[in-house]
Homo-oligomer: A and B are copies of this chain.
Amino acid sequence: MIYRRVALIGLGLIASSMAHAMRAGGLAGEIVGTARSAETRATALEIGLCDRVTDSAAEAVEGADLVVLATPVGAMAAVAAEIAPHLAPGATLTDVGSVKRAVVEAVAPHVPQGVRFIPGHPLAGTEQSGPRSGFATLFHNRWCLLVPPEDADPEAVKRLARLWEGMGSHVETMDPDHHDLVLAVTSHVPHLIAYTMVGVADHLRRVTDSEVIKYSAAGFRDFTRIAASDPTMWRDVFLTNKEATLEVLGRFTEELFVLQRAIRSGDGEHLHAYFTRTRAIRRGIIEAGQDTPAPDFGRGSGR
């Protein structure tokens, strides 16, 4: 047992996976959960997701030695303000938001003396959401990035790291701005692009939606999987990681225009060289163990 009582504020994919993973690993004495929506709380009760479900975040954090903010990033300032007077002295407060500078700015001002605020971000997810979507192995072999303030208590950071390791993650620390840039490249802009491409397909009159849907075997299928992720979470990501997103988007557009020009002018050498270089990154990802070299056999095709 790493924490005596863990309070989960918000019961979506990440929090519900944490509940399953902490239970599976015997990492928490008691798991208390809450969510803004009564329906979510009722579902959590019905499936026995937590040991206790409370109606308010203030109640949930009473006596907890770890409090996890697992709401959309845009809601965290309000939640922090609500729970601040109820946090136990010595408790650790963390979050699982996809951006870190904005979370630090929204939450830190509310954190009382004696409470350790250590923001975090598990790099794991599926396109599913809600309290039924969690599973114990979501964090297995995935990275969790912690973003402790400079004056953080090293023991508190280690303890939180042990929790994530106990759930199967590798843990690394990083400063919030670098985190936001890395994530803009590896996750936020790719998501935006996938959303855009799915939107373009939807708007093209000469190709019907049903054709798009029927013939989406190749590339596009992966895009739709990405673009099916939770709209509220992603809205908040882009609003709160604006600077890095716009920088990476600018580079993306520039690079896309170069390829577009090569297509227009029929510059096959340029295209071939470009496409060859991208293979190397893919190999790196396989070697880093983030994916397998097994082909995507097209799930749903009977294998």
Contacts and interface: CB of A to CB of B under 8 A. Distances in A.
Contacts of A225: 222, 282, 291, 296
B141 A214 contact: no
B198 A281 contact: yes
Contacts of A220: 185-187, 190
Interface stretch (A19-27, A30-38, A118-126): A118-126
A268 interface: yes
B185 A193 contact: no
A199 B190 CA distance: 12
A213 B284 contact: yes
Interface stretch (A3-11, A155-163, A201-209): A201-209
Q: Which 7 A-B pairs have the closest CB atoms?
A: A126-B295, A190-B219, A228-B282, A231-B275, A187-B218, A123-B217, A222-B222
Contacts of A253: 253, 256
A255 to B, nearest CB: 5
Given A203-B251, A217-B124, A219-B226, A212 B186 contact: yes
Determine how many copies of this chain the complex contains.
2
A204 B181 CA distance: 10
Nearest to A208: B182
Interface string A177-202: 01001110111111111111111111
Nearest to A13: B295
A76 B226 CA distance: 35
Interface in A113-167: 123-128, 133, 135, 137-138, 140-143, 145
A216 interface: yes
Contact of A142 (B74, B187, B217, B242): B217
Contacts of A101: none
A238 B255 contact: no
Contact of A288 (B214, B228, B271): B214
